[in-house]
Structure 1
């Protein structure tokens, strides 16, 4: 079992869902601060989901350490609303269910909070999703707090439309290939000058470590 903290930054009809460590890493990169992230700091959910809640579209930017893959998708969720209600941390919530990414999901949303958004790609309910889990209880998100921040702090910088985007089918195929053998992708970043014996040995060791990491952490959200 692993625990992570995520942020859902919202601004009008746009939002960004991102893991805390990923947001901090991006901030360091933007500030040109040198750092040496490890596989564990990257995690298996090193993605950023940018949403357009008005048009029900998302851009997912997945940083796989050996390469970044991005795709755009129109989300078509068929929500089934239930009359079941409960209270979570003094917030009245209502149950809803949907299927997405090979999993069945249960959501609890607060109609009193007019933010039609939630974790990962989920959105479109008449209120903020306060809690969400899949039927196998392998993924479970729960709201633990909220605060207002300045517009300059919002993580709304994104992959622009059409910039570096591929189809979701190509994303899945490329991601599977990269996770099986990250060495070719890692080598692309090396110039011919640096491809000496020692550098190649280090690159192969890094590729094997990355490959093993993904093999040990292969329970992806979508399957």
Structure 2
């Protein structure tokens, strides 16, 4: 099996270097945000791949970042960025996942309140490849299964696209994953298309702006620490905001405003409703 993966990886690198560009794969993600409801929602995610790495995120993230970059550039003339032009655009999934080739680990990055945190992990995906095959979209695919994040996953990969990669943290099969979902129907991804792009969309204009202004930090921590911070955030989503405002002696005035109270209420309601994460927390013994 190691020889097969090495051949695939070598072929992939040759193809990518010859093309001198990146490949963008569009995955339609279908998910159940609330574990107590049967309602399903969708979001378009993308997996960008070049000769060195892959980069996974919401397509809405890329579009928002592109608009933000234009606004910031225009602000060099006007003196102040007009973020009202963004409207109410937001991605439901703000995390980004980077896999460096050859893949030995994944780097997971997300925003908690106004700060950006990342952690590294090896998902230790042990795939069981089946002889079962079927057509998924335009590709001949083969079935594989694995346990990960407290869920059982069924994947379909194709050797017609020789990248041992896939959406989210999934990787390690002898071909690109074109479809994957958990057996209970909480989350699934299906490849809907692909195209060439000039380069991976890694940069975040929003993150850069907040960092340069001193309003946020970017820090790499452990997965355990990240999970702890996110659980604390869900309990009090505006704690970081109040701390930041306190530095400017504005926390009391702003916290008393109706707008602040309404925003905090809406955030708590949203976090309560979106209670069905991709990975389930391990039960404490």
Fold shared by both chains (TM-score > 0.5): yes
In the other structure, the counterpart of 1:156 is 202
Bigger Rg, which one: 2
In the other structure, the counterpart of 2:90 is 41
- 2:250 pairs with one of 175, 194, 201: 194
In the other structure, the counterpart of 1:27 is 66
Residues 164 and 172 in structure 2, CA contact (< 8 A), matched pair in contact too: yes
In the other structure, the counterpart of 1:174 is 229
In the other structure, the counterpart of 2:193 is 145
> Under a length normalisation based on structure 2, what TM-score does the superposition of the two structures give?
0.70
Separation in 2 of the partners of 1:66 and 1:209?
17
Please state if 1:218 is matched with 2:272. Answer: no
Gaps of 5+ in 2: 1-39, 73-80, 208-217, 281-285
Please state if 1:14 is matched with 2:48. Answer: no
**Larger RCO of the pair (alpha carbons < 8 Å, separation 6+):** 2
Farther off after superposition, 55-64 or 196-205? 196-205
Offset of residue 65 of structure 1: 4.2
Separation in 1 of the partners of 2:190 and 2:160?
17
Separation in 1 of the partners of 2:59 and 2:143?
27
Separation in 1 of the partners of 2:177 and 2:87?
32
Separation in 2 of the partners of 1:222 and 1:39?
28
Gaps of 5+ in 1: none
- 1:73 pairs with one of 98, 121, 124: 121
Matched residues, number: 217
Structure with the largest fraction of helix: 2
Q: What's the Cα RMSD here?
A: 2.2
Separation in 1 of the partners of 2:101 and 2:151?
22
Residues 114 and 241 in structure 2, CA contact (< 8 A), matched pair in contact too: yes
What per-residue deviation string (whole Å, max 9, x for no partner) do you get for residues 74-98 of structure 1?
A: 2311011001001112310000011
Offset of residue 200 of structure 1: 4.1
> Under a length normalisation based on structure 1, what TM-score does the superposition of the two structures give?
0.88
Secondary structure at the counterpart of residue 239 of structure 2: helix
Separation in 1 of the partners of 2:260 and 2:116?
18
